[in-house]
Amino acid sequence: MKNILKINYLFIVSLFATALIMLSSCSKKLDDAYLNPNNPIDGAIESILPNVINQMTSSATPPNGGGGGSYGPAYDGIYIGCYIQFWNYYGTSYLYDQMGGVYGLASDVTGGVWAGHYYGIGKNALYIIKKGKEQQKWDYVGVANAIFAWSWLTTTEEYGEIILKQAFDTTRDHFDYDAQSLVYDTVRQLCDSAIMYLNRTDGNVNAANLAIGDGYFYGGDVNKWKKFVYGVKARSYAHLSNKSIYTTNHYADSVIKYVDLSLQTNADNATQKWQGGNFSGLNNFYGVYRQNVATFRQSAFIADLLSGANTVSPFTGIFDPRTPYLINENAVTPIVQSTVSYKGVQPNLGTSSPGLSLTANQPKSLWRQIYSSVSTAVPDSGKYIFNNLAEFPVMTAAEMQFLKAEAAYRAGYSSIAWIAYKNGISLSFDFLIGKYEGRLPTAQKITAASRAAYMANPAVVPATASSLTLTQIMLQKFIAIYGYGANEAWTDLRRFHYTDLDPVTGKQVYAGFNVPTTLSQYNNSKLVYRMRPRYNSEYLYDIPSLQVIGALAPDYHTKEQWFSQP
Is residue 112 situated within a structural domain?
A: yes
Contact 339, 331 (CB under 8 A): no
DSSP state of 178: B
Separation of alpha carbons 151 and 160, rounded Å = 13
Per-residue confidence (pLDDT) for residue 28, from 0 to 100: 43
Asked, for residue 189, whether it belongs to a domain, the answer is yes
Domain contains 130: yes
Cβ neighbours around 318 below 10 Å, total = 17
pLDDT at 338: 60
Sign of CA dihedral 482, 247, 423, 461: positive
Asked if residue 340 belongs to a domain, the reply is no
Quickly list DSSP for 440-454: S-GGGS--HHHHHHH
In angstroms, rounded to a whole number, what is the distance separating the alpha carbons of residues 166 and 172? 8
Alpha-carbon span 331 to 511, nearest angstrom: 27
DSSP 226-242: HHHHHHHHHHHHHTTTT
Closest CA to 100 of 113, 112, 82, 86: 82
Position 332 scores a pLDDT of 66
| Residue-by-residue pLDDT tens, the chain, 566 positions | 544 443 333 333 333 233 333 333 344 443 444 445 555 557 899 999 999 999 999 987 554 444 456 799 999 999 999 999 999 999 999 999 999 988 888 999 999 999 999 999 999 999 999 999 999 999 999 999 999 999 999 999 999 999 999 999 999 989 999 999 999 999 999 999 999 999 999 999 999 999 999 999 999 999 999 999 999 999 999 999 999 999 999 999 999 999 999 999 999 999 999 999 988 889 999 999 999 999 999 999 999 999 999 999 999 999 999 999 999 999 765 555 566 799 999 999 999 999 999 998 999 999 999 999 999 999 999 999 999 999 999 999 999 999 999 999 999 999 999 999 999 999 999 999 999 999 999 989 999 999 999 999 999 999 999 999 999 999 999 999 999 999 999 999 999 999 999 999 999 999 999 999 999 999 999 999 999 999 999 999 999 999 999 999 999 999 999 999 99
Q: How many CA atoms lie within 13 A of 107 on its CB side?
A: 10
What is the DSSP track for 380-430?
A: S---TT-STT--EEEE-HHHHHHHHHHHHHHHT-HHHHHHHHHHHHHHHHH
Q: What 3-state class would DSSP assign to 501?
A: strand
Amino acid identity, residue 460? V
Under 8 Å CB-to-CB from 302, ≥6 apart: which residues?
A: 85, 86, 87, 326, 327, 344, 478, 479, 482
Evaluate the CA torsion angle 293, 499, 562, 254 in order and state its sign.
Answer: positive
Q: Tell me the C-alpha distance between 97 and 555, whole Å.
A: 16
Give the CATH number of the domain where residue 188 resides: 1.25.40.390
- The count of residues in the chain is 566
What are phi and psi for residue 13, nearest 5 degrees?
Answer: -60, -40
Q: What letter does residue 200 receive in the DSSP assignment? A: -
- Which of the 8 DSSP states describes residue 144? H
Backbone angles phi, psi at 543, to 5 degrees: -60, -45
* Cα separation, 161 vs 139, whole angstroms: 31
For 476, half-sphere exposure in the C-beta direction (CA atoms, 13 angstrom radius) is 33
User: C-alpha angle with apex 468: 466 to 470, nearest 5 degrees?
Assistant: 125
Rounded (5°) CA angle 127-130-133:
140
Predicted pLDDT of residue 39: 54
501, β-bridge pairs: 508
Give me the number of domains the chain comprises: 1
DSSP, residue by residue, 455-491? HH-TTTS-SSGGG--HHHHHHHHHHHTTTT-HHHHHH
Whether the CB-CB separation of 525 and 143 falls below 8 Å is answered with: no
Distance CA(500)–CA(508), nearest Å, equals 6
Q: Let me know if residue 38 belongs to a domain.
A: yes
| pLDDT score at 173 | 86
Question: What phi, psi does 53 have (nearest 5°)?
Answer: -65, -40
The pLDDT of residue 33 is 42
Closest CA to 495 of 519, 470, 516: 470
Q: How far apart are CA 309 and CA 311, in angstroms?
A: 6
Using CA atoms, how far apart are residues 376 and 83, in angstroms rounded to an integer? 24
* Angle, alpha carbons 403-76-553 (nearest 5°): 100
For the four alpha carbons of 525, 526, 528 and 530, in that order, the dihedral sign comes to negative
- Containing domain of residue 127, as a range? 2-67+97-254+536-564
Q: Residue 527: helix, strand or coil by DSSP?
A: coil
Strands 87-89 and 270-272: unpaired
| Helix 138-159 with 486-495: angle, nearest 10 deg | 50
Give the relative orientation of helices 486-495 and 73-83 as an angle to the nearest 10 degrees.
40
- Cα pseudo-dihedral 315, 317, 320, 324, rounded to 10: 140
Q: How far apart are CA 373 and CA 33, in angstroms?
A: 56
User: Alpha-carbon distance 74 to 81, whole Å?
Assistant: 10
User: Is 135 inside any structural domain?
Assistant: yes
CA 231, 237, 239, 241 torsion: positive or negative? negative
Does residue 418 lie in a domain region?
no
User: How far from each other are the two terminal CA atoms of the chain, in whole angstroms?
Assistant: 31
- Residue type, position 171, single letter: T
Query: What is the rounded (10 degree) CA torsion for 356, 357, 361, 367?
Result: 60
Q: Is residue 351 part of a domain?
A: no
Q: What single DSSP character describes residue 103? A: T
